[in-house]
Structure formats: C-alpha cells, structure tokens
Amino acid sequence: LLGRQHVRGRGRRRAAGLGLPPAGAAARPAGQPGLAVGRQPAGGAAGAERAAGRLPAAGAGAGGGQPGAGGGVDRCAGPPRAAGGTDWSLRAAPGELRKQVEDLNMDNAKLLLQIDNARLAADDFKVKLEGEQAVCDSVQKDTQGLRKIMEDTNFLRMKLEAELEGLKEELAHLRKSHKEEVEALRALIANSDVTVEVDNPKKQELKESIAQIRKQYEKVAEQNRDDAESWYKDKFDTLSQEANVNTQALEEAKSELSELRRQLQGLEIERQTLQKMVDTLENTLENIQARYNAELANLNHAIAKLQEELAACRADLERQARDYEALLDLKSKLENEISQYSQLIEGVTDRLPEADH
C-alpha cells in the first residue's frame, strides 16, 4: 500500500512539474483548452486545427484500448471494486493480526511450559515410584526370607516337640520299668525264705546294701529325670522365644509392607492424575495449534491475495507512467511542430508586406 501511494504521488508530482493536466483529465476532448500552447495567428488557423486534431488521436492511440491513464489511476486510488471482491478494510489488519499471532505464540509458550513442568513432575513421581517399588520388592524378599525362617523354625519346633514327646514316653517307660523292678524286688524280698535276724550281722548288711543301692538308683533316676526335664524346658523356652521374635518381626514386616503398598497406591493414583493432566494439556495444545495453523493459513491466504492485488496495481501504475511518458513525448513533439508552424506563419506574414512594397 505504501508503494502504491508512493508511485501515485510521484506520478502526480511529475505531471504537475511538466504542466500536464490532472489524472482525471488526461483524455480531454479536442474542444477543451488543455493543450493550447503558444499563440495562434489568424492566418494559422488550419495548422492549429490539424495540431488539435492530432493530439486527441495520439492520446487515444497511446491508451491502447484502455479507458485512459487518468481513469486507471482513479480506479486504483478510488473506492474498492465490487466485482473483484477486494476488502480494502484489511489494510489496517496486518498489525492486529500480528499482535494476535504474538499473543497466540505467548499462550502456546505458556502451555508448553506447563506441559514441561507436568512432565518433570511426572518424571519425579516416576522416580519416586520406582524407588518405592524397589523398597517394596526388598521388603517382600525379606518377608519371604522371614517366612522361610519361620517355616524352618516351626518345623524344628515340631521336631523338638516330637522328640520331647518321645523322651516323655521314654521317661514314663523308665519310671514304669523302675517301678516294676522295685515292686519285683520287693516281691522277691517278701517271698524269699530269708529270715531276718537282728543278731545276724551279714543279713543286716545285705538289707542295708539293698536299701542303699535302691536309694542311689532312685537318686540317679530322679537326677536324670530332672536334667532331661530342665534341658527340654530350656530348649522349648528358647525355641518359643525365637518363634515369638520371628513372629513379631513378621508382623512388623507385614505392617511395613502394608504401609508401603498404601504409599504405592497413593503414588500410583497421583501419577495417573498427572498423566491425565499431561494428556489433557497435550490435547489442548494440539487443538490450539490446529486452530492457530488454520488461522495462520487464512491470514497467509489473505496476505497473498493482497500482495497479488498490490502487484497488479503496481503494474497498472507502471503502465500508466509509461503512457504519461508517451503523452509527454507527444506533447513535446506537438509543441515543437506548433512553434515551427508559428515561425513559418510569422515569416510568411512578414514577407507579404515587403512583397507588396
């Protein structure tokens, strides 16, 4: 548009400097005094009429079938043409469109920044989730190890309980055998034909020896029984304490595993929420980019159309400038011819009185 106004102003200044008529009066009829240059004597009427007749004919030939130079300029500089469908109100639109494009680019950059922040947060939560999963796997492995230890402990406890039952049965059998032996000895002593006499020292010694042996045997049996019971009791208490410790550790591991699972579920829910947010922002960004691309395509199409019309107007102005140049050359030639005709007429007029004298 600035180029069009510059060319239009330059053509007007050039026409004004050369003394040409305005653009709207470039193709005046022969009867108007637009090209009357110099003085016309009375005797030179025929030459002036020929020159005046030449000028409109030359102007019509230079137009080349076009409506006229001034008319073309007025057509380019006038109101918008209805047939071409050109909207001249778009001359002020590029600045507003450029501002809209900058605002859209700023919004696009903000959306990209939000998406990057969401992706970074998602990556952080993903790293935390992986760490928690690693801890959870470690706790599960420890729990499996504790379960295996507990199973081994239970198996050992059951084995020891079975051994304890066997020892109890053996102790009961030993007690029963001891009781039977004592009863047999008592019966043997009661049924024996030995008569005890106080005055017989040998019989008294035998009785004392048997009583002493029985006391020693009962004492040894009682000691063995007490030792076995104390050993099995200590062993059972130790195994019970170990089982209680393992059970407590297992309960703590279960509670810790439950807490880690709860944290894992919370992190998974938060990750899914962030992923949905990222997907929503990406969809919004895609929609905005598609809309902006469509608007930019429309704007580029309108700009291309305006550029084509501007190029057409420039070509029209250049053609009109060439027509002006041709008209100026023709005017100069006609002025030269008119001056020559005037000089000839003046010379002939000057000679006629001399010839009369």
- Summarize pLDDT for 86-95 with one digit per residue, the tens: 555 555 566 7
- Summarize pLDDT for 311-348 with one digit per residue, the tens: 999 999 999 999 999 999 999 999 999 999 998 888 88
Residue 150 belongs to a domain with what CATH number? 1.10.287
42: pLDDT strictly greater than 50? no
Identify the pLDDT of residue 257.
86
DSSP state of 39: -
77: pLDDT strictly greater than 90? no
Query: Which stretches within 64-92 are classed as H helix?
Result: 69-77
- Share the mean pLDDT of the chain: 73
- Packing angle of the helix pair 69-77, 2-17 (nearest 10 deg): 150
Tell me if 280 is assigned to some domain.
Answer: yes
Question: Residues 29-52, buried b or exposed e (16+ Cβ, 10 A)?
Answer: eeeeebbeeeebeeebeebbeebb
| Together in a domain, 82 and 219 | no
- pLDDT above 70 covers a percentage of the chain that reads 68
| Together in a domain, 159 and 260 | yes
| Together in a domain, 153 and 127 | yes
- Residue 122 CA, chain-centre distance (Å), reads 12
- Please state, in angstroms and rounded to a whole number, the distance separating the CA atoms of residues 91 and 74: 18
Q: Find all residues with CB under 8 Å of 306, minimum gap 6, and list them.
A: 90
Of 271, 295, 319, the one marking the end of a domain is: 295
Q: With bands split at pLDDT 50, 70 and 90, how would you rate the model's confidence at 128?
A: confident
pTM of the model: 0.32
Tell me if 300 is assigned to some domain.
Answer: no
Nearest residue to 94 (alpha-carbon basis) of 307, 322, 357, 246: 307
Identify the pLDDT of residue 101.
84
Of 265, 295, 325, the one marking the end of a domain is: 295
Q: With bands split at pLDDT 50, 70 and 90, how would you rate the model's confidence at 61?
A: very low
Could you give the number of structural domains in the chain?
2
Contacts by 5-12 with C-beta closer than 8 Å and gap 24+? Answer: 7/314, 7/317, 7/318, 7/321, 8/73, 8/76, 8/77, 8/317, 11/73, 11/317, 11/320, 11/321, 11/324
User: Mean pLDDT over residues 136-151, rounded?
Assistant: 82
| Together in a domain, 144 and 66 | no
- Please state, in angstroms and rounded to a whole number, the distance separating the CA atoms of residues 299 and 231: 99
| C-beta of residue 338 within 8 angstroms of C-beta of residue 51 | yes
Identify the pLDDT of residue 201.
53
207: pLDDT strictly greater than 50? yes
- Summarize pLDDT for 18-40 with one digit per residue, the tens: 444 444 444 343 333 333 333 43
Range scoring the smallest mean pLDDT among 52-56, 203-207, 213-217, 268-272: 52-56
| Together in a domain, 49 and 166 | no
| Together in a domain, 27 and 150 | no
Identify the pLDDT of residue 54.
46
| Together in a domain, 126 and 237 | yes
User: Mean pLDDT over residues 219-236, rounded?
Assistant: 80
| Together in a domain, 224 and 157 | yes
68: pLDDT strictly greater than 60? no
Identify the pLDDT of residue 248.
83
CA distances from 28 to 13, 34, 53 (A): 20, 7, 12
- Please state, in angstroms and rounded to a whole number, the distance separating the CA atoms of residues 35 and 21: 9
Of 273, 295, 317, the one marking the end of a domain is: 295
User: Mean pLDDT over residues 4-24, rounded?
Assistant: 45
Q: Which residue has the higher pLDDT, 331 or 211?
A: 331
Token representation of residue 86 = 């050109």
Tell me if 15 is assigned to some domain.
Answer: yes
Tell me if 301 is assigned to some domain.
Answer: no
End-to-end CA distance of the chain: 70
Domain that holds residue 259: 106-295
Annotate 187-219 with DSSP letters as a single string.
Answer: HHHHHS-PPP-TT-HHHHHHHHHHHHHHHHHHH
| Together in a domain, 324 and 193 | no
CA distances from 53 to 3, 14, 27, 42 (A): 37, 26, 13, 18
| Together in a domain, 122 and 91 | no
- Please state, in angstroms and rounded to a whole number, the distance separating the CA atoms of residues 177 and 207: 22
- Summarize pLDDT for 294-308 with one digit per residue, the tens: 989 999 999 999 999
Q: Which residue has the higher pLDDT, 199 or 340?
A: 340
- Summarize pLDDT for 240-286 with one digit per residue, the tens: 788 788 788 888 888 888 888 888 888 889 889 998 988 999 899 89
User: Mean pLDDT over residues 51-70, rounded?
Assistant: 41
| Together in a domain, 234 and 147 | yes
Identify the pLDDT of residue 301.
92
Range scoring the smallest mean pLDDT among 5-14, 212-221, 348-357: 5-14
| Together in a domain, 96 and 112 | no
Q: Find all residues with CB under 8 Å of 307, minimum gap 6, and list them.
A: none
Cβ-based neighbour number of residue 12 at 10 Å: 15
- Please state, in angstroms and rounded to a whole number, the distance separating the CA atoms of residues 210 and 201: 14
- Please state, in angstroms and rounded to a whole number, the distance separating the CA atoms of residues 297 and 221: 110
